[in-house]
Amino acid sequence: MPSVDQLGSIAETAQGVRSGAVSATGLLEAFINRINAGNDALNALVALRLDGARADAQRIDEQVAAGADPGPLAGIPFSAKDVLATVDLPTTCGSRLLAGSKAGYDATVVARARRAGAILVGKSNCPEFAFGVDTANDLFGRTINPLGPFTAGGSSGGEAAAVAAGFSAFGLGSDFGGSIRWPAQCAALVGLRPTIGRLPGTGQLPAIHSRHPSVADTSTLQGLVQVIGPLARSVADAALVLDVLKGSDGLDPAAVDEPLRDYRGARLADVEMRWGTDVAGITAEAEVAAAVSSAADVLGEVVHRVEHGLPRAVDEAATVYSELRELDPLAEIRHLAHGREFLLTGFISSLLAREPSDRSSLPRLLAERARLIVKLSEWLLGERVLVLPIAAAAPFQDLGSIRLQGRAASGFELVTPSRAISLFGLPAVSVPRGQTADGRPLSVQVVAPPFREDLALAVALALENPGESK
């Protein structure tokens, strides 16, 4: 059995399992060996189901021996962020309020991955209730990045660390304002934020008043724009996972059965691109800006047209996102915490300590969001993409060390480019683009029109394998 680092793509490995050339049990043990050797130090996975995973692998090998097809993800070990419901592991959202709590069902995306033959090995760490650009909480502690002495990102930082360390072949995270894209950068992975509605969001916790199964509260910005998506080692792997998980489940009202085009069929020679490095007055640090500029140079060799300068609507979106987030009453967390506020960490406590905002401006802001979506779509349509940073700076060592434009800055400011794109609900792919002089990963995000994940993935592939798309 080859080592985890020697394995091919997910598609190739799953085909090996389906053909009998690779045993699911042997494949799983290679990943378990990595977990046993490194997870205690990294604190990426906070709940494990190794015996259950072994039973799953044995069953897959028996299916193959009997001539059955276990599915397109046959035998592939995966992990899921600790905000996604799982029937056989706790779902705690990284909070002492939910310590040991089990949802009693699988989130739709988890269930679909399992039905496709993938094997759940564990749940990954996240900041409390997935609020934050660094993965740490009072229940499990901080996740360490396997790539170096800098953050694993947040809020899907445990997922990023797990995939980068070879504990799982892909991870399922969630993205509100960059929570897939930013950790993907921190771990030099591909992270995909799908179009709102491409994947069902059913099974994300906490759910308001414990709705079962949980669906998003669309009266909040988070409920409107947060999506589930994959973190993986390559564009091809992320694309395959997206294809397996797509489509309506009849429970999430936002999820639709929009056809997914094959990214391998996209014609880059027809693509127009706009790019930029600064968003909403936040200037990207020099090495981040250089990575985006370099990506534009690479793509300039293969696309039809390149224009420097992002549409004005992107700048405006960052401001509207911030104003809408301020109106979030955090009703789900308030309900869970009632009478037990002492169990919350400082950051969440400070959010709940604020008086709920006057939501009378909500209709105006939602109308402004709708206007910006229309405004951006006047340019971003058809075969067109945007290329911009994930964050304004490279991964930091600790939260107190974040600096932008020579001053101390917050994590919220740091991911301004990702927040702006979230407001539109568009597909965005985080793709690695080298590293800083001191070894911190750099990435760019490729943004496409609604339900054109194929286009974003095709452009990302051209950056992943420069020269092969000419």
Active site members: 81, 155, 179
288 Cβ contact partners less than 8 Å away, ≥ 6 residues apart: 277, 389, 391, 392, 393, 394, 442
62 Cβ contact partners less than 8 Å away, ≥ 6 residues apart: none
Helix (H) or strand (E) holding 222: helix 221-225
CB environment 64-75: b (16+ within 10 A), e (fewer): beeeeebbbbbb
CA dihedral (278, 284, 286, 291) positive or negative: negative
CA–CA separation, 88 and 110 (whole Å): 11
417 Cβ contact partners less than 8 Å away, ≥ 6 residues apart: 178, 279, 282, 284, 318, 388, 389, 390, 391, 392, 445
Nearest by Cα to 463 from 275, 246, 315, 195: 275
Nearest by Cα to 368 from 420, 316, 426: 316
Residues 380 and 447 sit within 8 Å (Cβ to Cβ): yes
DSSP 3-state of 318: helix
CA–CA separation, 120 and 123 (whole Å): 8
CA–CA separation, 108 and 113 (whole Å): 9
